[in-house]
Amino acid sequence: MAAAEAKSSDSLQDDLKCPVCLGLFTDAIMLPTCGHTFCRRCLREYLQSYRHLGHMVCPVCRKITKFTPAKGVDDFPANVTVNKIVDNYRQDHGCKTETRPKCTACRRQRDAESFCKTCDKYLCKRCLTSHQQMSVMFEGHEIVSIEETKGLKGKVSIGNSS
């Protein structure tokens, strides 16, 4: 029976892999036209080659999906079911999860793209743009990418982490 459980666990893991990065889904989103699911980051990177067209081709079935160039994948719906299954799978199998902090500058609870060291706030893409556009108010603020915050142990508040 243990062999059958191991086989079904391997099968489940295969079903929870993003077809672009081949890793377990992270922040899974669906294409509205065909329903195929991808990691948000993978689809965001894939979308770069289609940004000027206003539509993209699904990497799996080749169906065309229209999008707003300004919003990109942020308009695509999250696959809540897949995200929950992946979370449970990671918890049950002791997989490390990459926790991405949520924006603490607004109420939208989107993944943070950067961190303002001056304001001590995580910023989603929209808040980062606003922060940069209001240069008079935020002049001299030091903004770093999320990846750079990993080296700031103890200097970054994580009050609103996922």
| 82 shares its domain with 113 | no
Taking the model in full, what pTM does it have?
A: 0.55
User: Is residue 81 domain-shared with residue 106, that is, in the same domain?
Assistant: no
Confidence band, pLDDT 50/70/90 cuts, at residue 1? very low
Tell the burial category of 47 from Cβ atoms under 10 Å away from its Cβ (0-12, 13-18, 19+). Answer: middle
Q: Are residues 83 and 128 in the same domain?
A: no
Instruction: Answer whether 119's CB lies under 8 Å from 105's CB.
Output: yes
Nearest 5°: phi and psi at 57? -105, 130
- Domains held by the chain: number: 2
Clarify whether residues 88 and 111 are in a common domain: no
Domain span holding position 105: 99-162
Amino acid code (one letter) for 79:
N
Q: 75 and 8 in one domain?
A: yes
Q: 136 to each of 124, 132, 133, 148, how far by Cα in Å?
A: 20, 9, 8, 25
Domain co-membership, 108 together with 68: no
Tell me, yes or no, whether 103 and 143 share the same domain.
Answer: yes
Pair 111, 158 in one domain: yes
**Higher-confidence position of 100 and 37:** 37
Q: Of 124 and 9, which is predicted with more confidence?
A: 124
127 and 152, same domain (yes or no): yes
For residue 36, pLDDT beyond 80: yes
Residue 74 and residue 107 in one domain: no
Regarding whether 88 and 14 lie in a shared domain, the answer is yes
* Same-domain check for residues 88 and 147: no
